[in-house]
Chain A
């Protein structure tokens, strides 16, 4: 089954990714994780996202585009990246989520991808 791991980051974690003082430590923890996921042959897709202040949210209302600055969800932790992995079951997906080197407030949401047969 395919699962998407969604990594939610605090503002501090977002800044740690690019802050010259913390950048090195952040990526030193993350890269081995990334490598382990790839080496396990389970990686299907993924992306890291720029911080939420770069987000733009669009709603279509009565045929009109309502475009707003900022992310959709108004929460402290924001989506910072995601992986799509292929593993046999939720428990294995959770094992991989648990290996993510999160900060003290790190959150990973794990969801099964909608399977192709659902649309058939």
Chain B
């Protein structure tokens, strides 16, 4: 065979392997991990299987069912590894039985059971350190590498690697169950899964300008995780609520900054730049969720975003409707973000004095380092003509901002704060805009 031919063949193998990794990594890993109850061992075995594929497929040809081939190769590596270590040998029969079946199934229909839901519940188990849950889910379900995750969360890669290793070791040694929780535990446990996905979304949200390459969009990955969850739990309304909320926020991403990279608050955004497609999907999801008749935190968050989205149709914002939704939200989930968002909306619906009273109910200790609180306080003081207090609050907000575009926006607000009764709306000091900070 000519060299050229061989090169083409190798390239085709690479493309196939990349495609399989993109489409099926999470499913392959979940299948193996559920059967050996050891995420690290399953990862190593799957990595070995991919490596073997890279070496042998150019020679032997791409198998008819690449996923099934990888699954069987991964299982073999896993069993070999376990025989060698002779630790947890009791899991071997399970693994054997499970994959034989899977191979038959895979051979016939290319379908093997999708165990990603179990894996998601393990990743977001309350016995796992809270900070590790989102990274763990991104790594195992989507196959993101640790360095990429580390940069999104602004942590050193080595620190992220340690955090992930510790979490996986806890799963194995503490014996966390690879099962979807029973009905009694489900609402509580699902909340952890939703939180972990939401945290991935939040990690990319502050990067308004898209200038910081390191922080670039885990938003897309969060949306993908939410889609997986919606697909795997079609009867649960809250995953749909979460996905709807994120899609509404995503729909406005382009409108959040000018060409030059300045920050544009929600009320000043050009609604024609909002994505109709994403808003439409969000509305459909929210509608489906509400038919279940079980309201929850994320459905309310989505409903708030949906109410903001109505401006694209009607040209106005119904602040009273949004205020009502916030009342429901803070009753279910009185996070500092929700309480600050509620105060911002009360200010729009009933005036700045009412907004300020709502804001002042929050305890000092909670808000000390919470940037959106100070941005809102600055704005409300300004509207009330309390200029020195406004400047003081704004400068605290600036000091707490991580995002240059937001800092510039707030600096401009300070310099405008001499003009009494200025009509600028605060909504958009990244907080009132969205629920993205409601943690």
A contacts, CB < 8 Å to B: 1, 3, 88-94, 111-112, 117-118, 120
A89 B87 Cβ-Cβ under 8 A: no
B177 A88 Cβ-Cβ under 8 A: yes
List 15 interface pairs A-B (beta carbons < 8 Å), by A numbering. Answer: A1-B175, A3-B175, A88-B175, A89-B176, A90-B174, A90-B175, A90-B177, A91-B177, A93-B175, A94-B127, A111-B174, A112-B174, A112-B175, A117-B86, A118-B87
Query: Is B173 in contact with chain A by the CB < 8 A criterion?
Result: yes
- Which listed residue (B86, B88, B173, B179) contacts A112, Cβ 8 A? B173
> Which B residues are CB-close (under 8 A) to A112?
173-175
From B173, which residue of chain A is reached at the shortest CB distance? A112
Q: How many residue-residue contacts, CB under 8 A, span A and B?
A: 28
Interface range on chain B (Cβ under 8 Å from partner): 10 to 19
B127 A90 Cβ-Cβ under 8 A: yes
CA distance A84 to B179 in the complex (A): 24
From B181, which residue of chain A is reached at the shortest CB distance? A91
> Which A residues are CB-close (under 8 A) to B181?
91
B86 A90 Cβ-Cβ under 8 A: no
CA distance A91 to B177 in the complex (A): 6
Question: Smallest CB–CB gap between A45 and chain B, Å?
Answer: 18
From A94, which residue of chain B is reached at the shortest CB distance? B127
Add 6 more A-B contacts to A1-B175, A88-B175, A90-B177 (CB < 8 A).
Answer: A89-B176, A89-B177, A90-B176, A111-B174, A117-B86, A118-B87
A91 B176 Cβ-Cβ under 8 A: yes
- Which listed residue (A89, A117, A118, A120) contacts B175, Cβ 8 A? A89
8 Å CB interface, B155-184 against A: 173-177, 179, 181
> Which B residues are CB-close (under 8 A) to A111?
174
From A118, which residue of chain B is reached at the shortest CB distance? B87
Question: Smallest CB–CB gap between B137 and chain A, Å?
Answer: 18
Question: Smallest CB–CB gap between B304 and chain A, Å?
Answer: 34
> Which B residues are CB-close (under 8 A) to A120?
86
CA distance A60 to B179 in the complex (A): 46
> Which A residues are CB-close (under 8 A) to B179?
91
> Which B residues are CB-close (under 8 A) to A93?
175
8 Å CB interface, B170-200 against A: 173-177, 179, 181
CA distance A117 to B88 in the complex (A): 8
> Which A residues are CB-close (under 8 A) to B127?
90, 94
A92 B87 Cβ-Cβ under 8 A: no
- Which listed residue (A3, A92, A117, A118) contacts B177, Cβ 8 A? A92
